[in-house]
Structures are given as structure tokens and as C-alpha cells.
Structure 1
Amino acid sequence: MNQETIKSTLPRDLMASVVVFLVALPLCMGIAIASGMPPAKGVVTGIIGGLVVGWLAGAPLQVSGPAAGLTVLVFELVQQHGAAMLGPILLLAGALQWVAGRLKWGCWFRVTAPAVVYGMLAGIGILIVLSQLHVMMDAKPEASGLGNLSAFPAALWAALPFSGGGDGMIAASLGLLTIVCMAAWDRLKPQRLRLLPGALLGVAAATLVGLWLELDVRRVEVPDNLADAITWLRPTDLLALADPTLLVAALALAFIASAETLLSAAAVDRMHQGPRADFDRELAAQGVGNMLCGMLGALPMTGVIVRSSANVQAGARTRLSAMLHALWLLAAVVLLAALLERIPVASLAGVLIYTGFKLIDLRALRQLGRYGRMAMLIHVVTALTIVATDLLTGVLVGFALTLAQLAWQASRLKINLIHEGRRIELRMQGAATFLKVPQLSRALESVPPDAWLQVPMEHLRYIDHACMELLEEWQRSNAPQGARLIIEPRALTRRVEGRRRQAAHLAGLAEGN
């Protein structure tokens, strides 16, 4: 980038970086708390995502950092294996991403049915809301979605003043104030102030009210030294990767993080007219960033659409904006630690609850309805399975339903018999596979034994040997009664199972009959 270009883009990138910083700061801390980790861990991930991934990124206007979409998975991993094991899992997941990027597999991570993706996001949104409702009342969330749902009535009762509590409801009021501020700002914000993030205003309002009324609520804990938030990966921790469950966790983390990153990059491409994203380079950059996060004991990262859209809307022109926002995050933790420690945890929980409700996008569900009820069913089942079990199981169930739908559509066969005197046309539409032999057999049973059966191939996508043999068997068994089988050879070589010479043989056999 030459000096003239830097001069022309620097003012816009500088302004955009400040906007992204204001959006990212509360989200980095809130996502860390929701993941069961100290808030400074999320800030470390945001710094690495800006400085390292922003420099290497294939999508220059995309911003990387801790993502709400990984909150559920990280919380599960921390609960099951401990925070110390998150480092080696993340190191392996990042290595897998880097290798996939270098092998140019980026496009394959985008081969994900939209119904599964939207269902995954909706399930994650439900889990975030269920867990953060407890955090918003200064209570500890349960380890599962159903656990949080079943424990909510008791937690709500304990937070009420007349039940002997009261502190929980005071904290919840600050969280509700944050949510109201964010919702009101999204609807009523003036055009001149549209770049000011609602999350920052909501957190600032809750913090000021808490300080003014001297409310006794749980507040954010920030280390005096940012180095205290870094937990270096020990070589002995890598031995734990021999555990198959950790390997599966690393694979799941790599896949979900990559899919979310590349889907976000595709969405960012639609927001601007600048250079298009290089998905393979972006995937490799994310791998480097996650390997560093694993070595430092931070949270995993992805490309995140909320911060990225704020970056584009604020007028960013180059990757410099994402890199500068990381410097502001670093300065905030180093210079403003005392101010950050005044923020109520319930307020950050309110930010995540609002974000979680946005992930439960009912408009996406309605749009899927244009493609049939099955797409809506896959969306709902994926989301509910994630809530009832875990993230990986829900995604696998969604993929299984998608494959089942594809198999059903691929094997669909519509059969019509058109009578024209002795000549009968057997018209088949779809795919004639061995699964449809009973259906084809029933149709042939209704054909008179002395008919001239004409079978056009133009409406078939595919026909296998089982159906061809059934047609030939009908001709052989009814030949004494004068039956004839006439198979139209046009495009037969493209549709029949087997080699070209086999198709030619079948065509010749049909014509000879």
C-alpha cells in the first residue's frame, strides 16, 4: 500500500476502528463470562484477532474475535475438561484450520445447508438466553440448556425480595436496563449517531445507575496486569490430546469456527464493493490466530458479523481498521482497568441476552418455508436438539436430516401409464433405483401382456440395473403373447447405470425387441 493510499484511507479506518472497539469491548468481556472464563481472556482473543488475523486475513474488512456462536461449545468444554484443556484443544483446532486453508479447502467449509446453519444459530441463541438469565440475576448457570431451563423458576424465586433474596433482582434490573437501552437505540437512534453502538450505551447506563445508587452487585474482574490473563500452554498439556474425546472436540471446534467465519466473510462481501474475500487465506489466518489463542490460554475466535458489519458501516477501507481496534482494546485493559471493574456483570449478561434473541431469527425460519416444510423441520429439529443435548449432536442431527432429505429426493420416482390402444407409454420422472422396484413392478403388472410398451428416457435423471432388468424380464415373460419393449435410446448413455458400452448394449437390445 503506497503512502498516497494510506493518507486517503487512514481517516476512515481510524474512525471505523474506534466504532468497532466500542462494539467489541463489551462483547469480548461478556462472551468470556458466558463461556465460563475470566473477561480478560476474551479481550486477549480480541487483540489477537485484530493484530494477527487482521494482518493476515483474506477478508480485509472482516473483524475477528470471540464469538457468541462458540460460547456454548466452549462452556461445555470448560465444564467437562477444565479450562487448562481448552489450550491444547484450541491449538489443534487452529492447526486443522491452517492446514485446511493451505490445502485450499475453504470452499468446502461453506457447503452447509442453510437450514442447519440457521438452526444451529437459533439453538445457540436459545442456550445463550437460558444461561445468561441466571448470570443476569448474579447466579451461576447450569451446565446444560435443559438444566438452565428447569432451574430458572427456583433462581427467579430466590432473586425476589420477599423470598429472602433481593440482590439477584437488583442485578437483573441492571441487565433489563441494558436490554431496554439497546432495543430503544436500535429503533430510535438518530442518523447522525447511528455508528454509536447500543451495547456501549446500555452498559454505560447500567454502570452509572449502579454507581449512583451504590448497588451491591457482582462486577467485572480485570487483572491489574494483562499478563496475568495469559496462561501459557505447557508441553505436558499436549499429551492430553491422546484422549479421543478431546480430538473430537478439536474437530468440532475447527468445523464450527470455520463455517461461522466463512459464512460471515460471504455476508461482509455483500456489504461493500471492495476486494472480494480469499476464503482459503482467511481460513489459514483464523488457524494461526486460534493456535496463538491456544498457546496463550485465551478463547477461540471466528470472524464475527456484528463487529464486521459495524466496521463496514463505519466506512472502513482496509485491514488497518481491524488492527487498530485491537490496539484500543489493549489500551483499554492497560489504562482503564479501574473503570472496567465498575461494570456490572448483569449488564454484560443483558448484552448477550439481546444478542441471543437476535440469533433466534424467526424471519430466517419463515424464509426457509419458501423451500418446503422439510427445510423448516430441519431448522427446528437442529435447534431443539442443540438445546436438549449439545452443539455437536444438534449439528450432526441436522446434517443427517439433510442427507436423508437428499436421499429421498434423489430416489423419488413418478410413474404414469398412457394408453394409446395397444401401444402403452410408461413415463417415468425422477430416479429409477432399486428402491423403486416394487413401485415399478406394480405398474408393470397393470400392463396387458400383449402390449407394446414404450419407455422414454428423457424425463429420467437416472436408472439403475435393477429397474432395467425388471423391464427386460417383463418383455421376456410376455413375449409369447406378442409383447414388445421399446426403449427410446436418446440420451441413454447419460442416464443408465454402468459404462457407455453397457448402455449401448441395452439400447440395442431394446430396439431389437
Structure 2
Amino acid sequence: MTKKINLFANLKSDFASGLVVFLVALPLCLGIALASGAPLFSGIIAGIVGGIVVGYLSKSHLSVSGPAAGLTAIVLVAITDLGSFNAFLLAGLIAGGIQLLLGFIKAGSISNYFPTNVIEGMLAGIGVIIFLKQIPHAFGYDKDYEGDLAFNQPDGQNTFTELFSVLGHVQLGALLITIVSLFILIVWDKIPALKKLKLVPSALVAVFVGVLINEYFIQSGSNLAVLDNHLVKLPVPTSLEELGAIIVTPDFSAITNSKVWIVGITIAVVASIETLLCIEAADRMDEQKRYTDTNVELKAQGIGNIISSLLGGLPMTSVVVRTTANNTAGAKSKMSAIIHGVLLLISVLAIPVLLNKIPLATLAAILLLIGYKLANPSKIKHFWEKGKYQFIPFIATVIAVVFTDLLKGVALGIIISIIFIMKGNLQRAYKFRKEEYKDGDIIHIDLAQEVSFLNKAAIKQTLSSIPENSKVIINASDTVYIAHDVLDLIKEFKKIRAKDENIKVKLEGFKKAYNLIETGEEGKHVFIEHK
């Protein structure tokens, strides 16, 4: 029986963290919509639905859903290829339906096979990207949109060359706001009296102070003033008609278009993988070590994408940046994600003018700290100390995520981990003790706990190197699994080569491990399988 979650049990900390996530999510929703070639409000709608609907249906305590940077390229190409945003919304609807189906067939269980070091590498890589991507915004250079996590940028630069471009475009007012904001964010939680003010998170104070500083610059006519290009840009409806025009519906007449179905399937697969990766990351972050039902999560994401598409919103996933911000701000339950969605809804309807006064520099300060915490050098040291089999997949994932994207980075990390597992199996499947073999010595071959088909070649080579007229003991006492390929190999060795070359073979432990028994005198043992 599933334990019911009390959404109001930690309202103070959840409201504070929801507020922080709202501040982080707002420019990300707008930036991702802009990069996707979609209406700006489509990103906000996805953020609202991701917060309220998915937040409520999900069993994850920390995960926050919304429009994802990893889908921008797919969305941009799809809208152009399908000819209209309405047709694309139908593809989003189909994607949601497929995710719902994936949840029912329990496809979410594949997340259990993501290695921990690869998940940690993904988080560290995302942290590096967030940190590097926020440096230009911190200096007032906002040519690349907020929320872009790709190495190659739409402006022709990449993550690293953009840093050099900053040198010729430093906006002193933005830099000052960044410094003040960072000071508040770092100091606020270190002062005991201020730390107790759970409902007044340091991020909110930093944003408030950043707005006041910039308003002072504007009112005084200072050249330090941060102007429109460096502020949050939320569309401001001037009438009910404009507000109503925000809701765009899918073009159901495109249901017979095969391209719509291809886009829908593509979005469903990519969004589901990104969500499962983020859920695994969220569970790793959770100090209470609670685990999320990933099949329920796929169903929640599916319903969220269906509703978002019906309302004119972008497709969504569980998102690492928002989830990390949520965890860092002290979220205790999924109420935080719901609150962030409610705040998005209220703010865009009631106070868009006030939100448009927020400098991107102060939001950059918040994200700089989030990026640093994700990519903390102590994490690299931790995996280094665990040895090369843990460190190499970790650091490869970090580098690949930074230079390519999340999915490619994780794929590389998993491939390297699999190679190491295969190599480990080859090395540990058996132990061949034959130090300076002399006539009359006994050769011991001790099989490991698991011997798979991957070990066949190595065992075959070992058996072929056994000299004539020798004595061999093959021990499977500690083995719990052995592949039939390897069993056949041992049978052939014993029945044919051992007989031809006068090799005496003794088998130990095979009855216990493989339901096999041995008969005969030493040197004349044969396999007899139980029927």
C-alpha cells in the first residue's frame, strides 16, 4: 500500500524553495520557448502545467518539471517541418499519450540500470555548463538566451568562446548587481538569525535588492542602469482578447500526417529518457533517500504533456536545473514544485510588469551557486579516490555532457561502464594458479560467482594452455551462475582433449551451482545433468 503524502507537512520550507524555483524557472521557460521558435507563453504554460499537474501526480519529492533545453532542437526543427505550431501541438499530445502508455507497461524500470557514477557525472557536467553559461549574464552580456545548455550556441559562439566575447561587452551595472547578489546569497544562510527566516529565502532577497539597485540607477540617470535587453522579458497582455489569444489548440486535422507521428514518438522517447535520468539524479540528491516510482512518473509526465499541448504549451520533462535549485533551496516534498507552478500562473497574469524589472544578472548569481554546488571539486576528488573503474566513466560523462549534450554524455558514460564491466568479468571470472608449473603439480582454476558468455574466450584460452599429463581442478563452489556456453566448453575439454592428452580433470562444486553431478574416478569424471 502506497503511503499518502501530506503536502502541507513542510509548508514553510516548501514555500521558500518553491519561490526560489519560480525565480529560476521564469527566465528559463521564456528562453527555451524563444530558442524553440515557439510563442513565449508556450514555455510559461509548460512550466505551470509541469509545476501544478505533474508536481501533484508525481511521486518524486524533489523533481520539478517544465520545458527542457534538451528538446529545443527537436521542437525548432519540428515546428518548421510541420508548417505550424498548432500541428506541432498535436505531436506533443501524441508524445504525452505514448509516455502514458510507457508508464502502464512499466518502462520506467530501465532507470534502475543507470550507473551511479554516470548519474553523478551528468549532474557535475550540468553544473559546469550552468556555471559557464551564467558568466556572460553575470557581466551583462545576454546575446545567448537564458536557458541554453548546448555547447554550440545560436549566436555562432560556443560555451568557451562566449567567455572571451564577454571581455568587450562588460556592463558595470550588471556586474555590480551580480556581486551584491552573490554576497547576499552566500552570507544570508550563514547568519543564524537570518537563516531562521525560512519564508524569506536568500534568492528572493537577492532579486529584490537587485531590482532596487537597478531602479536607483534608472531614476538617477546613471549609465550603470541595466536596460531592457538585460532584464526578464515576459509578454504583457493589454486586454482580455490578447490574454485569450495565448491559449492555442492542436490542429487535429494533421492526425493523418506521418511526420506528426514521427515527431511525437521522438519527443516521447527523448523526454522519457531525460525524465528518468533526472529522477535518478533527484533521488541521489534526496537527503532522506526516498525513491521515486518511475512508472508513475512516466504517467504523470504523459498527462502533463497532454494537458500542456491542449493549452498551447511546449512539451516538458523533469529538469535537472530546476530540480537542483529546488533541492538546494531546502525543499522537503513535492509541494514545492506545485507552489512554483502556482506562482508562475499568478505572476504572469497579475504582475508581469514587476517581473520585467528583474535583472538577468541577479538570476545569474543564483544559478552560478547552483552550478558550483553541482560541480563541486570535492565530488571529482571523491570519484578519483574510488579508483579508475569509477572515475573514468564519471569524468568521461562530465566532459561529454559539457561538449555535446546530456543524452550523448550519459550514453558515453554507460558504454564505458559496460566495457569496464565486461573487462572485469573477463578478469574475475576465474583464477588460474600455475606458478612455474612442474610435472606433477596440480593446476587450480577457480570460477567466480558469475561466469557469463563474455568469459568464454578467456576460459577457452586458459584450458588450451594446460600442458599434457597434468592434473586440473576446476572449482565452482562459489559460483551461482554459469552460462551454458562455458559449461559446454568445459564438457568438451574434459571428454575430448583431457582424454587425448592424458589430463586428469576433477570438478568441484558443480552439483551445487549448476544442478550437475560427477561420477567416476579421478581422471575419468563426466558431466551428468539432472533431468
Q: Is the 8 A contact 2:507 2:518 kept in 1?
A: no
> Matched residues in 1 for 2:265 and 2:168: separation?
40
> Matched residues in 2 for 1:75 and 1:265: separation?
26
> Matched residues in 2 for 1:119 and 1:257: separation?
16
> Matched residues in 2 for 1:39 and 1:178: separation?
27
> Matched residues in 2 for 1:152 and 1:116: separation?
28
Aligned equivalent of 1:145, options 151, 172, 189: 151
Q: Deviations over 1:366-385 (max 9, x none)?
A: 33345431221111111211
Q: CA deviation at 1:111?
A: 2.6
Give yes or no for the alignment of 1:203 onto 2:207. Answer: yes
Q: Deviations over 1:360-400 (max 9, x none)?
A: 24333333345431221111111211222232222211121
Aligned equivalent of 2:180, options 156, 177, 184: 177
Q: CA deviation at 1:117?
A: 1.1
Q: Is the 8 A contact 1:172 1:346 kept in 2?
A: yes
Q: Which amino acid aligns with 1:183?
A: I
> Matched residues in 2 for 1:174 and 1:506: separation?
84
Q: Is the 8 A contact 2:12 2:198 kept in 1?
A: no
Structure 1 pair 394–326 and aligned structure 2 pair: CA distance change class (3 A): closer
Structure 1 pair 41–271 and aligned structure 2 pair: CA distance change class (3 A): farther
2:240 paired residue number: none
Q: Deviations over 1:86-115 (max 9, x none)?
A: 745644443333222222333332331111
Structure 1 pair 264–323 and aligned structure 2 pair: CA distance change class (3 A): same
Q: Which amino acid aligns with 1:29?
A: L
Aligned equivalent of 1:22, options 19, 33, 48: 19
> Quick one: percent identity of the two aligned structures?
20
> Matched residues in 1 for 2:181 and 2:79: separation?
31
Q: CA deviation at 1:323?
A: 4.3
Aligned equivalent of 1:487, options 500, 507, 516: 507
Q: CA deviation at 1:424?
A: 0.7
Q: Which moved more, 1:349-358 or 1:380-389?
A: 349-358
Q: Which amino acid aligns with 2:186?
A: A
Structure 1 pair 65–284 and aligned structure 2 pair: CA distance change class (3 A): same
1:163 paired residue number: none
TM-score (norm 2): 0.76
Q: Deviations over 1:326-354 (max 9, x none)?
A: 33432222222221111112322333333
Q: Which moved more, 1:41-50 or 1:24-33?
A: 41-50
Q: CA deviation at 1:63?
A: 5.8
Describe how 1:42-121 pairs up with structure 2 within 5 A: 42-59=43-60, 61-62=61-62, 64-66=64-66, 70-71=68-69, 73-78=70-75, 80-81=77-78, 84=85, 87=89, 90-121=92-123
Structure 1 pair 120–103 and aligned structure 2 pair: CA distance change class (3 A): same
> Matched residues in 1 for 2:185 and 2:266: separation?
38
Structure 1 pair 486–76 and aligned structure 2 pair: CA distance change class (3 A): same
Q: CA deviation at 1:469?
A: 2.7
Describe how 1:444-463 pairs up with structure 2 within 5 A: 444-445=466-467, 449-460=468-479, 462=482, 463=486
Q: Is the 8 A contact 1:90 1:300 kept in 2?
A: no
Describe how 1:95-494 pairs up with structure 2 within 5 A: 95-136=97-138, 137-141=140-144, 144-145=150-151, 147-160=157-170, 168-188=171-191, 190-214=194-218, 215-217=225-227, 218=229, 219-225=231-237, 227=244, 229-235=246-252, 239=257, 241=259, 247-261=265-279, 263-264=281-282, 268=286, 270=288, 278-295=293-310, 296-298=312-314, 300-302=316-318, 304=323, 306-307=325-326, 310=329, 312-313=331-332, 323=338, 325-369=340-384, 371-412=386-427, 413-417=430-434, 422=440, 424-430=442-448, 431=451, 433-437=455-459, 439-441=461-463, 443-445=465-467, 449-460=468-479, 462=482, 463-479=486-502, 483-488=503-508, 490-492=509-511, 494=513
**Alignment partner of 1:196: what SS?**
coil
Structure 1 pair 75–66 and aligned structure 2 pair: CA distance change class (3 A): same
Q: Deviations over 1:485-508 (max 9, x none)?
A: 2222x234635xxxx5xx458999
Q: Which moved more, 1:97-106 or 1:303-312?
A: 303-312
Q: Deviations over 1:430-476 (max 9, x none)?
A: 3483220464046413xxx3333332222455344335434544412
Gaps of 5+ in 2: 219-224, 238-242, 527-531
Q: Which amino acid aligns with 1:115?
A: N
Report the count of equivalent residues: 476
Q: Deviations over 1:248-277 (max 9, x none)?
A: 4541221111331354257558268xxx75
Q: Is the 8 A contact 1:141 1:148 kept in 2?
A: no
Q: Which amino acid aligns with 1:270?
A: Q
- CA RMSD in angstroms comes to 3.8
Q: Deviations over 1:62-86 (max 9, x none)?
A: 463337xx43x13444555559487
> Matched residues in 2 for 1:86 and 1:125: separation?
31
Q: Is the 8 A contact 1:115 1:376 kept in 2?
A: yes
Q: Which amino acid aligns with 2:109?
A: C
Structure 1 pair 507–389 and aligned structure 2 pair: CA distance change class (3 A): farther
Q: Deviations over 1:211-245 (max 9, x none)?
A: 11111432212222465555433336764745867
TM-score (norm 1): 0.78
Structure 1 pair 90–399 and aligned structure 2 pair: CA distance change class (3 A): farther
